[in-house]
């Protein structure tokens, strides 16, 4: 079922209002564990100063029981704003304590609760998408959190546990009645994992049922996708994940293009390579070169993916050990692409 709505009005185009927080952008960066760390967010932020950016998922159990409030995952840069810190958890006291520590030590603009993670380690612990199987527990957690923190609380969830249990509509209504200020729907079930086949029509169903902002997530990769989702379903924003891997400029470019009505900026390999190198340098400054390069190995191929000749360098890029090797490899890719 496709729900055709009027094209977005100016208020929608100006951004989205999440509780008391106004965000002057409709394009959001998805939380991605192991990807959207403080360094990557810093790069995204340079191109997208106004967009809402989310941290990686943070385990409330991990935070509270380890008593380490200085863990890397909690770090925030000076320009890291507006930002949502995403928490996972199912013990009310623990979730509330973790949120309170984050709010008082990190000054986030909002707290997002992960109720969509499909990974067994998380769902087996009755966190992430497992909470979609117990909306009453989810309601208790969300309403308690809304009462205990003075920043807006948002929630990200999926279509449901599996095809036979698609309860996103009731779940969204539950979240709204718990006092949540925005919902993000990843239009797949837990059983789908990341397999192709998002049900974008679900955005229209949810949008029509809720008064709080609804953000669309799942396979949004282009400006056309964003325009289509906003115009067809009236969603308040689009959240992009994997399309931003190796493309930290994309959130900002999408935001600028949506606001101006202009096409998306094309970026050449010659422009991209210095950005990639800058990412590697910053990451090494943050965690040290040996560890930093190891962690960068997954990011590097994303930057050059799709460019002529780049696939031949994939193996080399994933074996680099120093910044000099990264630079040499990127220069060779540039030469091969010319």
Site residues, ligand FMN (CB under 6 A): 30-35, 56-57, 86, 114, 116-117, 156, 186, 217-220, 240-243
Report in angstroms how near the CB of residue 89 gets to ligand FMN at its nearest.
13
Report in angstroms how near the CB of residue 304 gets to ligand FMN at its nearest.
19
End-to-end Cα spacing for the chain = 47
Residue placing its CB nearer to ligand FMN in the complex, 250 or 293: 250
Residue placing its CB nearer to ligand FMN in the complex, 89 or 273: 89
Residue placing its CB nearer to ligand FMN in the complex, 202 or 334: 202
Residue placing its CB nearer to ligand FMN in the complex, 188 or 269: 188
Residue placing its CB nearer to ligand FMN in the complex, 31 or 108: 31
Report in angstroms how near the CB of residue 332 gets to ligand FMN at its nearest.
27
Report in angstroms how near the CB of residue 58 gets to ligand FMN at its nearest.
8
Residue placing its CB nearer to ligand FMN in the complex, 160 or 273: 160
Three-state SS across the chain? CCCCCCCCCHHHHCCEEECCEEECCCEEECCCCCCCCHHHHHHHHHHCCCCCEEEEEEEHHHHHHHCCCCCHHHCCCCCCCCEEEEEECCCHHHHHHHHHHHHHHHCCCEEEEEECCCCHHHHCCCCHHHHHHCHHHHHHHHHHHHHHCCCCEEEEEEEECCHHHCCHHHHHHHHHHCCCCEEEEEEEECCCCCCCCCCCHHHHHHHHHCCCCEEEECCCCCHHHHHHHHHHHCCCEEEECHHHCCCCCHHHHHHHHHHHCCCCCCCCHHHHHHHHHHHHHHHHHHHCHHHHHHHHCCHHHHHHCCCCCHHHHHHHHCCCCCHHHHHHHHHHHHHHHC
Report in angstroms how near the CB of residue 114 gets to ligand FMN at its nearest.
4
Q: Minimal CA–CA distance to 232: which of 249, 251, 208?
A: 208
Residue placing its CB nearer to ligand FMN in the complex, 56 or 109: 56
Say how far apart CA 69 and CA 72 lie, in whole Å.
9
Contact 238, 26 (CB under 8 A): yes
Residue nearest to ligand FMN (CB): 241
Is 117 annotated in the active site? yes
Report in angstroms how near the CB of residue 219 gets to ligand FMN at its nearest.
5
Please identify which of the residues 117, 129, 198, 284 carries the catalytic annotation: 117
Asked whether the CA dihedral 97, 100, 105, 109 is positive or negative, the reply is positive
Which active-site residues does the annotation give?
Answer: 117
């Amino acid at each position: 079922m496709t729900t055709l709505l009027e094209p977005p009005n100016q208020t929608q185009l100006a951004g989205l209002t999440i509780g008391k927080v106004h965000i002057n952008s409709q394009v959001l960066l998805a939380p991605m564990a192991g990807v959207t760390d403080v360094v990557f967010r810093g790069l995204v932020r340079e191109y997208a100063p106004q967009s809402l950016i989310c941290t990686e998922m943070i385990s409330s159990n991990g935070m509270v029981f380890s008593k380490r409030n200085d863990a890397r995952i909690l770090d925030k840069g000076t320009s890291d704003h507006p930002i949502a810190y995403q928490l996972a958890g199912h013990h009310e006291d623990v979730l509330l304590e973790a949120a309170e520590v984050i709010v008082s030590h990190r000054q986030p603009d909002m707290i997002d609760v992960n109720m969509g993670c499909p990974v067994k380690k998380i769902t087996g612990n009755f966190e992430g998408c497992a909470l979609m199987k117990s909306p009453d527990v989810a309601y208790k957690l969300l309403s308690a959190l809304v009462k205990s923190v003075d920043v807006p609380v948002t929630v990200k969830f999926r279509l449901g546990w599996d095809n036979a249990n698609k309860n996103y509509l009731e779940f969204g209504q539950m979240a709204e009645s718990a006092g949540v200020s925005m919902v993000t729907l990843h239009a797949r079930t837990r059983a789908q994992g990341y397999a192709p086949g998002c049900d974008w029509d679900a955005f229209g169903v949810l949008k029509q049922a809720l008064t709080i902002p609804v953000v669309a997530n799942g396979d949004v990769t282009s400006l056309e996708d964003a325009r289509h989702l906003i115009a067809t379903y009236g969603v308040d924003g689009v959240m992009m994940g994997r399309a931003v891997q190796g493309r930290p400029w994309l959130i900002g470019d999408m935001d600028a293009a949506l606001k101006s009505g202009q096409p998306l900026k094309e970026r050449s390999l010659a422009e991209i390579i210095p950005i990639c190198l800058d990412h590697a340098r910053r990451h090494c400054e943050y965690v040290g070169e040996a560890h930093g390069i190891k962690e960068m190995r997954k990011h590097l191929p994303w930057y050059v993916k799709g460019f002529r000749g780049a696939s031949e360098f994939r193996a080399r890029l994933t074996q680099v050990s120093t910044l000099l090797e990264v630079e040499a490899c990127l220069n060779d890719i540039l030469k091969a692409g010319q």
